[in-house]
Amino acid sequence: MKLSNAISVAAFGFAGGIFRDLLSTALDVKGVLIANLLGCFLLAFLTYYVIERDLLAGWLNAGLGTGLVGAFTTFSSFSTTTIKLALHSLTSAGLYLLLSMGCGLVMAGLGMLLARHLGRMVDHHA
């Protein structure tokens, strides 16, 4: 790994972790869900618009995708939130799982569709 990528991932990861903490502290379970769904959208958009079109330097792509979005959305937060809900209600935990997975796929799909649409618009006007 290049040093510039490592520094970018660390710096953006720091910011992403803080953003996730702010959301989860303010909104508890809803904050974790919002962070994960927003992250699905953002990573798909970054992948299919910014990275695929080579709009930014590689170190910035690594920082934004792996660092910022990766720290903003963590599987550990998703897992511990699911367990926390299951201890109180299996129905709530199941609903959270379904919302996270189903809506996460939808958000990633929307991010990809928006990225592709914007790409066609830019290409058409160029």
Global pTM reads: 0.91
Instruction: Describe the crossing of helices 90-98 and 75-88 by its angle, rounded to 10 degrees.
Output: 150
Per the annotation, binding residues are 70, 73
pLDDT digits (tens, 9 = 90+) for 40-69: 999 999 999 999 999 999 999 999 999 999
Per the annotation, binding residues for Na(+) are 70, 73
Q: Please check the confidence at residue 126 and state whether its pLDDT lies above 80.
A: no
What's the sign of the alpha-carbon dihedral 48, 100, 27, 78? negative
Q: Which residue has the higher pLDDT, 74 or 21?
A: 21
